[in-house]
Structure 1
């Protein structure tokens, strides 16, 4: 199983500012210490090997979109249609030209704008030979997708799309066989509800997609069912939008969770890897990197029988299970 992250921000797509790019370049020049490089390849090796990620790269700014490539029936498997879906669609066309199946099974966590706003720019939706099946726990999923393409909001109406588009409602607690993988659904605590998904392929690898769900540190006894859903997962992609301080003070009841709570639940579940995800749009690359480092340290201090590898998702990250 291969997991590709096409969009990892929450709430709002963001772009780096000119000032933030200048800051990265300045820090890189200081780190180089006057060294010169023979060519771009040599300079790229320096960036990759000697600069921290926040200086030499970026966590990105596209909103939620994650691809699950698994041993299945050859269809694409996607989680959410955030703005990262545009880049995914371009990439998917390239694979289709090489013979990939033109079927997309898409699993929606929920219907807020940051999770559906990439769909109007999703190229395969304009291909009459493509089939798109949108799976959701929401009865009003089609209404939400159509409404964002009404004339007052967008110039291309939903009915102008050429692909064969279907909406399928899933029920929490059931196990489905979709796209050649087993899929389980969990209801989560969020405005208008959200849903988490557990994907298990024929090789027995399991990935969890659980975003936009609030888990409170002062009521962890209520998270037993969540830990059971995450049980022994090879990768848990989890909403860690806030630091613990933000989650328990200014942003309590906003429908999102912290890095600390995600680690606690993954420890309880015996999960192998955790990907910090749905990054706060006001957090800079430095802020996200700091949270990642703090998360690794917290995991080390609270570790149980087996270690939990803590990753930090960024646009373009690939994780092979």
Structure 2
């Protein structure tokens, strides 16, 4: 199984401003003082060797969209703005023989998680099959509504792909093109649902975003400990710091890196990907949260190590 992150931000897409790019360039030039860099290959080597991630790259700005590569069909979690780039990437893959079957699993229907669908090129392909799985019975209403004339110039009924809506029941596993999938209800406005994917060899990925976990009510989190149990990778909403999540942003429907690590430790998960980054955080702030998360994991570890990754647009994880 291969996981590709096409969008990792929460709430709305963001782009790096000119002054942020200038700061990255300035830091790179200062770090390069005394180095001989004569070509692009040497520059790439210098970036990899001498610069931290925030100085030499970016976590990106597209909203939630994650691809799970397994078998002959596509598996996609959420339709954030990152879906546009994913759709474009499939053109060549399908031309090379990949099946034009797209299995979506929708955490919820808020705009940042569906806004990419009107720009999803395969939806105009009459040979494409699109299955939209959700535990929300009003999923079709939400997608049609955002393509009404007052909001978007292309009506939903102009799409040419075969589009099917599948309503899942939380806790009841289904089989989808070689993967076993089960949904879990989460605390969020209008409800959200996490998904647990397991392939034939037992490898497991959990996608759990837009879910609030209260640090003072962990007894009620037993269901999530089981949901995360022994997962090879947990992609988890870590939008806020612990201080924010229990103070001014309590009941906003998101959680923290600290609680995610605690849950993964209890569940015996192997990897955690920090996800759904706060749009006001710049690259340095996200990197700082990642470093603090790694340190917290080390300090609280009692059993096997939990690898803590920080998702960014373009990250690939092979299981």
Fold shared per TM-score above 0.5: yes
Q: Secondary structure at the match of 1:117?
A: coil
For 2:218, which of 214, 220, 226 is the aligned residue?
Answer: 220
Q: Measure the CA separation in 2 of the matches of 1:4 and 1:213.
A: 21
State the Cα deviation string for residues 207-262 of structure 1 (Å, max 9, x = none).
00000000011111110000000000000000000011111111000000000000
Q: Measure the CA separation in 2 of the matches of 1:171 and 1:109.
A: 13
User: In structure 1, what is the equivalent of residue 25 of structure 2?
Assistant: 25
User: In structure 1, what is the equivalent of residue 11 of structure 2?
Assistant: 11
User: In structure 2, what is the equivalent of residue 48 of structure 1?
Assistant: 48
Point out where structure 1 has 5 or more consecutive residues left out of the alignment: none
State the Cα deviation string for residues 184-226 of structure 1 (Å, max 9, x = none).
1100000000000000011211000000000011111110000
Pair 1:69-2:69 in alignment: yes
User: In structure 2, what is the equivalent of residue 233 of structure 1?
Assistant: 231
Pair 1:132-2:130 in alignment: yes
Contact kept, 8 Å, 1:77 with 1:179, in 2: the verdict is no
Pair 1:186-2:184 in alignment: yes
Q: Secondary structure at the match of 2:14?
A: coil
User: In structure 1, what is the equivalent of residue 263 of structure 2?
Assistant: 265
User: In structure 1, what is the equivalent of residue 296 of structure 2?
Assistant: 298
User: In structure 1, what is the equivalent of residue 243 of structure 2?
Assistant: 245
Q: Secondary structure at the match of 1:186?
A: strand
User: In structure 1, what is the equivalent of residue 99 of structure 2?
Assistant: 101
Q: Secondary structure at the match of 2:21?
A: helix
Q: How many residues are treated as equivalent by the alignment?
A: 319
CA deviation after TM superposition for structure 1 residue 34, in Å: 3.7
What's the Cα RMSD here? Answer: 0.6
Point out where structure 2 has 5 or more consecutive residues left out of the alignment: none
Contact kept, 8 Å, 1:110 with 1:194, in 2: the verdict is yes
Q: Secondary structure at the match of 2:112?
A: helix
Calculate the TM-score normalised by the size of structure 2.
0.99
For 1:211, which of 206, 209, 217 is the aligned residue?
Answer: 209
Matches within 5 A, 1:123-162: 123-162=121-160
CA deviation after TM superposition for structure 1 residue 32, in Å: 0.9
CA deviation after TM superposition for structure 1 residue 48, in Å: 1.4
Calculate the TM-score normalised by the size of structure 1.
0.99
Q: Measure the CA separation in 2 of the matches of 1:12 and 1:26.
A: 28
User: In structure 2, what is the equivalent of residue 165 of structure 1?
Assistant: 163
State the Cα deviation string for residues 111-144 of structure 1 (Å, max 9, x = none).
0000000000000001000010000000000000
Q: Secondary structure at the match of 1:153?
A: coil
Q: Measure the CA separation in 1 of the matches of 2:40 and 2:150.
A: 47
Q: Secondary structure at the match of 2:190?
A: coil
State the Cα deviation string for residues 49-92 of structure 1 (Å, max 9, x = none).
2100000000000000000112x3x1100000000000000111
